[in-house]
């Protein structure tokens, strides 16, 4: 059976299983369940300075239970970097640039030993938008992306926007790149019925206070919450409320001060921290519209989450939002609060227009994780096919 190694070092120490860890787990399950591959989950072990093999069934079970007790998954079998099996695939889809095994070190060894390298690049925000990232993270990300461009047999991305960004880097540096395949992410989130008993009283009060436009996501510079605040303060005060739900990220002290000093703070303008899933569902369900002013996204999952909940979406006009939202959303010029306010005002005053936007998201069906898994399996089969057909 075809062997695939998957380094899950970051998932094995993780405490949060949304975002990339969720992608890793969903893909791991599909690859395993297909029965087509011999899947080997590994994590770096510092004591032995090698990959430790994890118990396959144990890891698959862990993707369901997400228990804190993970030692039972760890075996006492170790694979030195130089002894990964020739002809196998080393598949990276975790946040591997944060692990101790630099890919600038690992990938050349794998290639030398006939292992196929297949990195799953979620985005290249750290390269094209480093202003939104920590310097140290950017340095580690350059290591990963550089090694991927140099040593990958095939690169897998989630969007055409990311593919184009990688191709642009290749063109700029005049280098031949490996094949880049697009495997879009799944989004079959349960359309959770909100358990209203669990919704905090504050959340219900916010929803009852009047129409509001909503943003969900960590409050950080990249997400551009400041534009929402500016739009509210300059153009929409008294016409519609603004709710921003998300954890407080770093470098936003001035922003939170502006909210705290606003006369409408906690009256028409809210920042909701530590919201539960039920709280978030409730906020989506009652929102007039979901507004997404982000500068750049890896995949724009909040857009999909809004669509699943059939909430009208207004997004900043950039490649990734256009690609993910397509015809279902309205778009405003990036960083233009007047343009955003104009759209919201039109929706508030023009019932037909608002109804049309609402209709456009009715019955939205996201791609399922099974589809994502099948597409990924096809890519792996293609890679193995290339090898088997090789007459050299």
Partner 1 sequence: MAVSRDDRTVYEGLFEHVKNELEKNNQILNCDKEGFLSQLGTAPKKVSYEEMKDLEGEAFLSCAFMAFFQRLPNDAEIETCKDLGKEEILKYLSNKASFSIRGIELTDCPYDVKPGLKGKIFGKAATVASSPALRKTAKKMPAGIQNKIRGTFR
**Torsion-angle region of 35 (φ positive above 0: left; ψ -120 to 50: alpha; else: beta):** left
Cβ(350)–Cβ(312) below 8 Å: no
Site string for partner 1, 129-148 (x = CB under 8 A): xxx---xx-xxx-xx-xx--
Q: Which is nearer to partner 1, 112 or 234 (CB)?
A: 112
Decide: is 253 part of the binding site for partner 1 (CB under 8 A).
no
Helices 369-389, 20-33: inter-axial angle, 10-degree rounding? 60
Decide: is 150 part of the binding site for partner 1 (CB under 8 A).
yes
Work out how close the CB of 127 gets to partner 1 at its nearest, in angstroms, rounded to a whole number: 6
Bridge pairing between strands 269-272 and 241-245: parallel
Structure tokens at 115: 């292992």
Work out how close the CB of 15 gets to partner 1 at its nearest, in angstroms, rounded to a whole number: 4
Structure tokens at 197: 């008993």
CA 14, 93, 91, 166 torsion: positive or negative? Answer: negative
Structure tokens at 48: 């032995």
Phi/psi at 265 (nearest 5 deg)?
-55, 125
Site string for partner 1, 56-85 (x = CB under 8 A): ------------x-x---------------
Q: Is 155 helix (H, G, I), strand (E, B) or coil?
A: strand
Which of 145, 60, 56, 161 is closest to 104 using CA atoms?
145
Structure tokens at 159: 């969007």
Q: Which is nearer to partner 1, 58 or 184 (CB)?
A: 58
Decide: is 102 part of the binding site for partner 1 (CB under 8 A).
yes
Q: Which is nearer to partner 1, 146 or 184 (CB)?
A: 146
Q: Which is nearer to partner 1, 8 or 314 (CB)?
A: 8
Q: Which window, 41-49, 304-312, 342-350, 366-374, contacts partner 1 (CB under 8 A)?
A: 41-49
Work out how close the CB of 37 gets to partner 1 at its nearest, in angstroms, rounded to a whole number: 27
Work out how close the CB of 189 gets to partner 1 at its nearest, in angstroms, rounded to a whole number: 23
Q: Is 275 helix (H, G, I), strand (E, B) or coil?
A: coil
Q: Which of 55, 128, 188, 371 lies at the binding interface for partner 1 (CB under 8 A)?
A: 128
Q: Which is nearer to partner 1, 106 or 183 (CB)?
A: 106
Q: Which of 1, 35, 46, 392 lies at the binding interface for partner 1 (CB under 8 A)?
A: 46
Q: Which of 5, 32, 37, 44 lies at the binding interface for partner 1 (CB under 8 A)?
A: 44
What is the rounded distance in angstroms from the CA atom of residue 95 to the CA atom of residue 71?
21
Q: Which is nearer to partner 1, 127 or 215 (CB)?
A: 127
Residues in the chain: 392
What is the rounded distance in angstroms from the CA atom of residue 65 to the CA atom of residue 67?
5
Work out how close the CB of 53 gets to partner 1 at its nearest, in angstroms, rounded to a whole number: 17
How many C-beta neighbours within 10 Å does residue 308 have? 19
What is the rounded distance in angstroms from the CA atom of residue 77 to the CA atom of residue 60?
18
Site string for partner 1, 223-252 (x = CB under 8 A): -------------------------x-x--
Which helix (H) or strand (E) covers residue 45, if one does?
strand 37-45
Work out how close the CB of 68 gets to partner 1 at its nearest, in angstroms, rounded to a whole number: 4
Cβ(344)–Cβ(314) below 8 Å: yes
What is the rounded distance in angstroms from the CA atom of residue 166 to the CA atom of residue 129?
13
Applying CB under 8 A, the site for partner 1 has a residue count of 39
Site string for partner 1, 346-365 (x = CB under 8 A): --------------------
Q: Which is nearer to partner 1, 68 or 327 (CB)?
A: 68
Which helix (H) or strand (E) covers residue 381, if one does?
helix 369-389
Binding to partner 1 in span 259-288, by CB under 8 A: none
Decide: is 172 part of the binding site for partner 1 (CB under 8 A).
yes
Cβ(283)–Cβ(216) below 8 Å: yes
Site string for partner 1, 307-336 (x = CB under 8 A): ------------------------------
Interface positions with partner 1 (CB under 8 A): 13-16, 44, 46-47, 49, 68, 70, 100-102, 104-105, 108, 126-131, 135-136, 138-140, 142-143, 145-146, 149-150, 169, 172-173, 175, 248, 250
């Amino acid at each position: 059976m075809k062997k695939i190694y998957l380094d899950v070092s970051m998932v094995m120490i993780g405490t949060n299983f949304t975002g990339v860890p969720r992608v890793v787990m969903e893909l791991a399950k599909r690859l395993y369940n297909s029965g087509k591959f011999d899947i080997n989950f590994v994590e770096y072990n510092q004591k032995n300075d090698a990959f430790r093999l994890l118990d396959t069934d144990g890891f698959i079970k862990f993707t369901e239970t997400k228990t804190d007790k993970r030692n039972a998954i760890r075996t006492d079998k170790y694979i030195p970097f130089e002894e990964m099996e020739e002809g196998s695939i080393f598949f990276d889809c975790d946040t591997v640039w944060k692990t101790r095994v630099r890919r600038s070190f690992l990938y050349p060894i794998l290639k030398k030993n006939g292992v196929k390298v297949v990195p799953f690049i979620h985005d290249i925000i750290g390269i094209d938008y480093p202003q939104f990232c920590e310097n140290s993270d950017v340095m580690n990300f350059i290591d990963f992306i550089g090694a991927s461009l140099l040593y990958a047999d095939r690169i897998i991305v989630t969007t055409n926007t990311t593919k184009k960004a990688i191709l642009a880097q290749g063109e700029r540096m005049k280098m031949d790149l490996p094949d880049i395949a697009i495997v879009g992410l799944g989004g079959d989130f349960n359309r959770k019925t909100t358990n209203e008993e669990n919704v905090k009283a504050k959340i219900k009060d916010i929803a009852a206070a009047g129409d509001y436009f909503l943003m969900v996501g960590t409050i950080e510079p990249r997400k551009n919450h400041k534009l929402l605040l500016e739009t509210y303060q300059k153009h929409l005060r008294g016409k519609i409320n603004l709710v921003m739900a998300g954890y407080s990220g770093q470098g936003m002290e001035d922003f939170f001060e502006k909210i705290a000093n606003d006369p409408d703070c906690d009256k028409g303008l809210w920042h909701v921290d530590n919201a539960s899933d039920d709280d978030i569902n409730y906020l989506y369900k009652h929102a007039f519209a979901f507004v997404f002013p982000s500068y750049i996204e890896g995949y724009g999952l909040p857009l999909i989450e809004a669509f699943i909940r059939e909430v009208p979406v207004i997004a900043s006009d950039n490649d990734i939002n256009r690609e993910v939202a397509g015809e279902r959303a309205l778009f405003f010029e990036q960083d233009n609060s007047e343009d955003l306010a104009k759209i919201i005002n039109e929706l508030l005053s023009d019932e037909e227009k608002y109804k049309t936007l609402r209709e456009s998201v009715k019955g939205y069906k996201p791609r399922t994780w099974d589809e994502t898994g099948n597409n990924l399996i096809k890519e792996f089969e293609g890679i193995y096919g290339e090898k088997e057909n090789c007459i050299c």
